[in-house]
Amino acid sequence: MSVTARMDHTAARRTLLRARALCACILFIVWASLVHASEAEYPDVIPGYAISFPEDEGSHPAFRTEWWYVTGWLTDREGIERGFQVTFFRNRPGVDERNPSRFAPRQLLFAHAAISDPMRGRLLRAERSARAGFGLAEAAEGRLDVRIDEWSLRQEGEIYRTSIAAADFSIELEFRAVQPPILQGDNGFSQKSPDPSYASYYYSLPQLETTGEVRIENARYRVRGAAWFDHEWSSRLLDDAAMQWDWMGINLDDGGAVAAGQIKDKSGREHWAAGTWRVSPTGPVRAFGPDEIEWAPLRHWRSPRTDIVYPVEWRIAIGDRTLRLQPLMDDQENDARGSTGSIYWEGAVRVLDERGARIGKGYLELTGYEAE
């Protein structure tokens, strides 16, 4: 066995052992949460909170859950287009918090990364998970700096950077904001249910100028493109009726930006929907409510691995506009059962207008679907 192969084997074994240890930790947390459900107190998400930059770009550890999410389209020097995703999650399980041990799982961190490469026809993906602490996994407060081992997403001055190293691929990208943030919902208060107590604080950075390098197996590519960044934190995100979550973030070619999401109930009907549209790089942002958004699936794809059927092509009406989403490729399923326990579809999509003209690119997320 070569030195490189031994290193890869050692890294894979270390990752497997960490995943097993964390799974045991999560099982303990689930059990303990049943026993000590009333122990933790989480702050509410309420209207009127003023999101502050850069302070609120960092972690909010008192809240139950939080994520930082960046996706986008990249073009290499040969003109080949690919998509990418980097997401970090933080969770406060809220059990055994009075335990003085440094090993107590006060904060858990997870990360997903992927490249959508049409040359391969399926997602290249990897995941990480860890307890926060010991200098190995942290989510800083007051600034964006979240990491798990060698994976990171951070802000340095006016530049955002991510560094991901996986067995089959790596991502080294820089992002520069060219527009002000979009405060989703009601000035950053993003309702997720007819009951307004289910909500998050939520902002987006669209149209991020993106440069850097990606590696796919042994090949390296210098790339440029545009990305979309989301940051949300909450203590009560979804109510009991919520079963599926569809979301899109779109960078339009004219410099505008569109975000929309719908939450569906057990019958597959819309339970809640919301969205925003920035009409130009410096233009105003209009918010849309459930009565102004309609998602209509146009085509489905069945995963050959999980047998889950995903609606991968959509027609979405937002106000008086209609968009059509077409995937870069069908197989963009992300099996993250080794970290967050979820399987979902997260992929690069092209955007067409009412006449069929291409007007933008972005990402589509489909969560909560099950095998039929």
- Express each pLDDT in 133-167 by its tens digit: 878 899 999 999 999 999 999 999 999 999 999 99
Answer whether residue 187 is part of any domain. yes
Answer whether residue 11 is part of any domain. yes
Q: Which helix (H) or strand (E) holds 8?
A: helix 3-35
Q: In this predicted structure, what is the pLDDT of residue 341?
A: 87
Tell me: the pLDDT tens digits for 71-112? 999 999 999 999 999 999 999 998 877 776 666 678 999 999
Does position 34 have pLDDT exceeding 90, yes or no?
no
Contact (CB, 8 A) for 76 and 221? yes
Does position 11 have pLDDT exceeding 70, yes or no?
no
Q: In this predicted structure, what is the pLDDT of residue 101?
A: 64
- Measured CA to CA, the distance from residue 364 to residue 355 in angstroms comes to 21
- Measured CA to CA, the distance from residue 201 to residue 203 in angstroms comes to 7
Answer whether residue 372 is part of any domain. no
Answer whether residue 276 is part of any domain. yes
10 CB contacts (<8 Å, ≥6 apart)? none
Answer whether residue 304 is part of any domain. yes
Nearest to 343 by CA among 270, 231, 266, 244: 244
Q: In this predicted structure, what is the pLDDT of residue 24?
A: 39
Secondary structure (DSSP) of 57-99 = GS--TTSSEEEEEEEEEEEETT--EEEEEEEEEEE---SSTT-
Across all residues in the chain, what is the average pLDDT? 89
Structure confidence at residue 39 as a pLDDT band (50, 70, 90): low
- Measured CA to CA, the distance from residue 230 to residue 232 in angstroms comes to 7
Contact (CB, 8 A) for 252 and 358? no
Tell me: the pLDDT tens digits for 19-30? 444 443 443 344
- DSSP conformation class of 133: B
Nearest to 280 by CA among 260, 251, 259: 251
Instruction: Please state the separation of Cα 273 from the chain's center in Å.
Output: 18
78 CB contacts (<8 Å, ≥6 apart)? none
> Whole-model pTM?
0.88
Nearest to 261 by CA among 249, 243, 269, 277: 249
User: Long-range contact list for 26-29, CB < 8 A, 24+ apart?
Assistant: 26/108, 26/341, 28/105, 29/93, 29/95, 29/105, 29/108
Structure tokens at 244: 């599926």
CATH of the domain at 15: 2.40.370.10
Range of the domain at 334: 3-367
Query: Which residue has 């007819």 as its token pair?
Result: 194
CA distance readout (Å), 202 to 62, 195, 240: 16, 17, 21
- Our count of domains for the chain comes to 1
183 CB contacts (<8 Å, ≥6 apart)? 51, 202, 203, 285
Cis peptide, bond prior to residue 206, ω within 30 of zero: no
Ramachandran sector of residue 133 (left: φ over 0; alpha: ψ -120 to 50; beta: rest): left
Answer whether residue 249 is part of any domain. yes
Count of beta carbons in the 10 Å neighbourhood of residue 43: 12
Nearest to 81 by CA among 271, 292, 223: 223
* Cα 298–Cα 360–Cα 308 angle in degrees, nearest 5: 35
Structure tokens at 48: 């009127």
